């Protein structure tokens, strides 16, 4: 008599639970693939960002330094529309709006259709990101408590540069488990959201209500068209350029004129793009929604053009030799930034994660340990793009404090990268083993190959 072989037992659930649901784990296989694709694209952008920053630093400290600053301060634009800006300001206000548009798309995608739509999966990385913002800000504030003028820069060490961080991972050849990759990206995305909120509320001045209210008109039209004709704009790229782009530019210009930093417009436009396909287009199971399509279209522009150009115009600071470097690093501004990013980031992220997991009696995913979380927390101390932007908003581009802040940002990012390299590099063997365990055979309903062999 032939017996039917027993069905394979599904893999055991993660030990890391929060009220019965999985937290701080690998997430779905589809999500792991999507995150991996994003990080691979950011690797190229991170390399270009580093190259642009190095070129700017070398040029700004070369005998031809005057030509660099003349180029950065060259003014172009239409004054009656308040758009007569230097090239450096165009990079910060205009090109970075593209970067924050991607941030808006990614945030909405994560919380509407990604694994992070579940509170049980989002609570740990989101809380860790909040801790990673709050502790550096407090450290900076304590260092600069005696100086109200420099205290204004408290938000500089709060942001993580995901492109720079991923470039470091590529250089050291680290094979982070998917759970850690998702954790790192979530940290970066959430603290970008916190950073843009800080910029909107604390670094906006002389708010003009008329252009701000007028900005709602093209923004509403943009949102209506993107929602109503999502399939059309998804299939016809030229239509998005000819119809949605002018509305987006008009929204950006009016937000800029209102006194709110124009990058906020980028986030709002990103939030206006639908994530899930309409039922007429087959519903969520029929393929990527318009937000994901736009992400694929615009990420190369952001990572390959917008952010590197911004880095080129922002990272160029005249150090003034060893004496100038010592003077810059002794400034409480630079000191607060370095301590905030190198010490505050890992302390805030690690402490918040530890407290939350212990409070919920959760345990880490089996693919990594606390030393790996510490390595990622160190990596999160690489603050660059948003930190440079906040420094300029705090002190004014080209001011002494701004120059010292940039030196602090560059020094802190370098130190954080080196420390993270030391920790993560020693764990590469374990990461490779974890990577093998994560390989999935699509023919077996998402069950890992290794598990299929055991069953």
The average pLDDT across 376-391 equals 90
Q: Over 50: is that where the pLDDT of 441 sits? A: no
Collapsing DSSP to helix, strand or coil, 123 comes out as helix
CA 372 to chain centre: 20
Q: How far apart are CA 304 and CA 41, in angstroms?
A: 9
Collapsing DSSP to helix, strand or coil, 5 comes out as coil
Contact 440, 454 (CB under 8 A): no
The average pLDDT across 402-420 equals 92
Q: Over 70: is that where the pLDDT of 277 sits? A: no
> Residue 352's pLDDT is what?
92
- pLDDT for 369-379, tens place per residue? 888 889 999 99
Strand partners, 42: none
> Please, what sign has the CA dihedral across residues 176, 124, 382, 423?
negative
Q: How far apart are CA 448 and CA 283, in angstroms?
A: 28
Strand partners, 18: 21
Q: How far apart are CA 367 and CA 434, in angstroms?
A: 6
Contact 103, 270 (CB under 8 A): yes
Q: Over 70: is that where the pLDDT of 8 sits? A: no
356-381: buried (b, 16+ CB within 10 Å) or exposed (e) per residue?
bbeebebebbbbbeeebbbbbbbbbb
> Residue 448's pLDDT is what?
43
- Give the Cβ contact number of residue 138 at 10 Å: 14
> Residue 273's pLDDT is what?
93
Q: Over 80: is that where the pLDDT of 354 sits? A: yes
> Residue 447's pLDDT is what?
43
Q: Over 80: is that where the pLDDT of 262 sits? A: yes
Contact 132, 340 (CB under 8 A): no
Contact 348, 133 (CB under 8 A): yes
Q: How far apart are CA 376 and CA 363, in angstroms?
A: 17
- pLDDT for 292-332, tens place per residue? 889 888 888 888 899 899 999 988 888 877 887 888 888 99
- pLDDT for 148-159, tens place per residue? 889 999 999 998
């Amino acid at each position: 008599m032939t017996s039917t072989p027993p069905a394979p037992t599904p893999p055991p659930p993660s030990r890391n639970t929060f009220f019965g649901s999985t937290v701080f784990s690998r997430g779905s296989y589809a999500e792991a693939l999507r995150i991996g694709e994003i990080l691979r694209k950011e690797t190229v952008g991170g390399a270009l960002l580093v190259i642009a920053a190095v070129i700017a630093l070398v040029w700004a400290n070369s005998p031809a330094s005057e030509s660099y600053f003349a180029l950065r301060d060259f003014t172009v634009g239409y004054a009656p529309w308040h758009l007569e800006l230097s090239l450096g300001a165009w990079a910060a206000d205009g090109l970075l709006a593209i970067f924050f548009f991607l941030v808006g798309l990614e945030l909405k995608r994560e919380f509407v259709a990604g694994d992070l739509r579940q509170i049980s999966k989002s609570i740990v990385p989101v809380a860790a990101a909040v801790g990673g913002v709050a502790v550096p800000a407090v450290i900076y504030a304590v260092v600069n408590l005696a100086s109200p003028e420099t205290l204004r820069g408290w938000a500089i060490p709060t942001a993580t540069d995901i492109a720079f961080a991923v470039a470091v991972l590529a250089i050291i050849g680290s094979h982070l488990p998917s759970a850690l990759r998702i954790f790192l990206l979530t940290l970066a995305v959430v603290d970008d959201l916190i950073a843009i909120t800080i910029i909107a509320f604390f670094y906006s001045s002389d708010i003009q209500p008329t252009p701000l209210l007028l900005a709602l008109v093209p923004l509403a039209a943009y949102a209506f068209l993107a929602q109503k004709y999502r399939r059309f704009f998804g299939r016809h790229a030229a239509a998005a350029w000819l119809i949605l782009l002018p509305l987006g530019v008009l929204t950006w210009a009016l937000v800029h004129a209102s006194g709110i930093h124009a990058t906020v417009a980028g986030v709002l436009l990103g939030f206006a793009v639908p994530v899930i396909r309409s039922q007429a287009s087959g519903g969520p199971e029929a393929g990527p929604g318009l937000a994901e399509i736009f992400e694929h279209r615009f990420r190369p522009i952001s990572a390959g053009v917008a952010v590197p150009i911004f880095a080129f115009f922002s990272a160029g600071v005249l150090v003034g030799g060893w004496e100038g470097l010592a003077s810059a690093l002794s400034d409480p501004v630079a000191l607060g930034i370095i301590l905030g990013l190198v010490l505050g980031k890992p302390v805030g992220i690690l402490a918040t994660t530890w407290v939350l997991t212990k409070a919920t009696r959760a345990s880490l995913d089996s693919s990594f340990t606390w030393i790996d979380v510490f390595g990622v927390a160190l990596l999160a101390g690489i603050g660059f793009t948003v930190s440079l932007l906040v420094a300029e908003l705090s002190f004014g581009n080209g001011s002494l404090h701004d120059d010292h802040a940039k030196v602090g940002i560059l020094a802190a990012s370098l130190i954080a990268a080196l420390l993270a390299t030391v920790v993560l590099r020693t764990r590469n063997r374990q990461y490779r083993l974890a990577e093998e365990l994560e390989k999935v055979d699509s023919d077996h309903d998402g069950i890992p190959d290794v598990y299929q062999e055991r069953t």
